[in-house]
């Protein structure tokens, strides 16, 4: 399976180059830190220190470029007084959220040595000690899932430095300079935001976003409640017609308060425009997709459309407003559909098990033996457990005995996302999904009870089913 690309220094430099070059970038793309379909990061800005801005290719389809060219000087970590090895870990593994201006609900910056001597938000300890605790915390690790845990050497780098007093050091990383007056950008082509599918005249995109209870056009005001889960309901905006979803894209408005979101397709009718505090338990709904920081949208292959024939959608947003006043937010998802149905219909299939009655340390396992006799193409996997969920794998046992891994990822209830997991399942292959928990676990629909599902998007729709009496696309062994 495709492991989400980790943010690295090269990426960071590419991003900075993109910003400093005088191109018409409306927003620098987030590096793909975690979830689903890492979209290639356009790096068409002026290269470091040369200042030849070319201004192509990010944002929407831009008109003739009006870029004035970058000044050509880049100083990446010049302002930081961190030792090099520490700076490198913090920038690549924490910097997306704990940067100079904290984002995605993170309570503090981790950019200069002095940050580590401050008290934590609840004042119980120093930030430095909290860092050591959280990078070793299996239940709530930093960085949070779906990002990979720190390696033991990254952990050692931070721990040794913090325990020695978190003293300033020096790091002369990449302070390239250059002159050069980049000429105007050429007109932008398809950028990181509008995909080919979105430009297809037969495709219509709808924004499902957080909004004020009184008006879909006004933002929601996020209260200061920590770890708030809030749900917004939408009737299918395209009406009763059958459509295929062909693409989706996260719309992230206020990145200081949004932590992550999940989009559900509901089996029951929903009240369009309604919103309510919610808990993360959605008994009758299936996950369409999820976003966490770094996640990008994901277009389906040209010949495939996703079945979204549920009766409505619930957009569940997890907020962390660490400020002292309510903050506006209109984040959500752009859902792109077509009435020209694609030749292949993909659907969400339920792998996993309902048989969960485990002592601490136990594992739940469900084997899917598809009854269909056609090859099934898997596009993506979206693990779903509840609060105790820690890790999910789905392995494939081929008819000839050979094993392949579909997905093997840490899980955090607070950051559920989709992963691109391309595989073809042939008749005779089976899929074994295994869930691990942080304590004794029992099946149920409440957040305090547990689940073990991998929502697999695959075609043909219904291709992974084992005749389950529980649901149409069930392949959970029951």
Angstrom distance (rounded) from CA 289 to CA 260: 11
Nearer to ligand HEC (CB atom), residue 121 or residue 340: 121
Nearer to ligand HEC (CB atom), residue 62 or residue 130: 130
Nearer to ligand HEC (CB atom), residue 84 or residue 367: 84
Q: How far is the CB of 103 from ligand HEC (least distance, A)?
A: 7
Nearer to ligand HEC (CB atom), residue 125 or residue 284: 125
Nearer to ligand HEC (CB atom), residue 106 or residue 208: 106
Q: How far is the CB of 121 from ligand HEC (least distance, A)?
A: 4
CA neighbor of 258 nearest in space, from 210, 296, 303, 306:
210
Nearer to ligand HEC (CB atom), residue 125 or residue 271: 125
- Beta-carbon count within 10 A of 470 CB: 9
Q: How far is the CB of 85 from ligand HEC (least distance, A)?
A: 13
Q: How far is the CB of 148 from ligand HEC (least distance, A)?
A: 11
Nearer to ligand HEC (CB atom), residue 194 or residue 409: 409
Q: What residue has token string 């770890």?
A: 227
Q: How would you classify the pairing of strands 332-338 and 244-251?
A: antiparallel
Q: How far is the CB of 276 from ligand HEC (least distance, A)?
A: 23
Q: How far is the CB of 109 from ligand HEC (least distance, A)?
A: 11
Q: How far is the CB of 104 from ligand HEC (least distance, A)?
A: 5
Contact positions vs ligand HEC (CB under 6 A): 93-94, 96-98, 104-107, 110, 120-121, 130-131, 134-135, 140, 142-144, 147, 150, 259, 293, 320
Which two three-digit tokens encode residue 335?
Answer: 């859902």
Q: How far is the CB of 113 from ligand HEC (least distance, A)?
A: 14
Nearer to ligand HEC (CB atom), residue 20 or residue 111: 111
């Amino acid at each position: 399976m495709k492991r989400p690309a980790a943010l690295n220094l090269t990426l960071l430099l590419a991003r900075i180059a993109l910003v400093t070059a005088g191109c018409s970038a409306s927003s620098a793309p987030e590096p793909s830190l975690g979830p689903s379909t890492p979209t290639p990061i356009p790096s068409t800005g002026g290269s470091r220190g040369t200042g030849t801005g070319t201004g192509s290719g990010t944002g929407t389809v831009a008109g003739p470029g009006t870029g004035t060219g970058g000044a050509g000087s880049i100083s990446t970590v010049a302002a930081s007084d961190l030792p090099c090895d520490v700076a490198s870990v913090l920038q690549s593994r924490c910097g997306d959220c704990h940067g100079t201006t904290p984002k995605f609900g993170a309570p503090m910056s981790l950019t200069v040595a002095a940050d580590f001597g401050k008290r934590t938000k609840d004042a119980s300890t120093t930030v430095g000690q909290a860092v050591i605790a959280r990078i070793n915390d299996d239940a709530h690790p930093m960085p949070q899932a779906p990002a990979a845990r720190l390696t033991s050497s990254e952990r050692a780098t931070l721990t040794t430095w913090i325990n020695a007093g978190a003293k300033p050091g020096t790091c002369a990383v990449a302070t390239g300079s250059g002159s050069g007056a980049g000429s105007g950008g050429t007109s932008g082509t398809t950028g990181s935001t509008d995909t080919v599918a979105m430009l297809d005249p037969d495709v219509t995109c709808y924004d499902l976003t957080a909004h004020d209870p009184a008006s879909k056009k006004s933002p929601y005001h996020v209260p200061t409640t920590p770890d708030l889960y809030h749900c917004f309901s939408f009737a299918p905006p395209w009406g009763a017609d059958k459509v295929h979803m062909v693409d989706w894209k996260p719309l992230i408005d206020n990145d200081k308060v949004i932590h992550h979101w999940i989009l559900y397709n509901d089996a029951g009718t929903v009240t369009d425009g309604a919103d309510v505090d919610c808990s993360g338990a959605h008994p009758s709904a299936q996950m369409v997709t999820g976003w966490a920081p770094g996640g990008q949208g994901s277009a389906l292959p040209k010949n495939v459309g996703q079945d979204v024939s549920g009766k409505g959608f619930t957009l569940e947003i997890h907020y962390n407003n660490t400020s002292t006043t309510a903050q506006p937010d209109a984040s959500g998802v752009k859902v792109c559909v077509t009435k020209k149905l694609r030749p292949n219909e993909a659907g969400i299939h339920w792998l996993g098990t309902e048989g969960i009655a485990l002592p601490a340390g136990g594992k739940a396992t469900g084997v899917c033996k598809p009854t269909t006799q056609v090859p099934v193409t898997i596009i993506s996997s979206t693990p779903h457990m509840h609060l105790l969920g820690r890790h999910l794998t789905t392995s494939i046992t081929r008819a000839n005995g050979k094993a392949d891994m579909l997905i093997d990822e840490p899980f955090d209830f607070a950051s559920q996302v989709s992963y691109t997991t391309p595989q073809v399942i042939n008749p005779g292959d089976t899929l074994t999904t295994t869930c691990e928990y942080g304590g004794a676990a029992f099946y149920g629909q409440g957040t305090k009870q547990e689940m073990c599902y991998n929502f697999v998007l695959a075609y043909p729709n219904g291709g992974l089913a084992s005749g389950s009496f529980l649901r149409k696309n069930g392949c959970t062994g029951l």
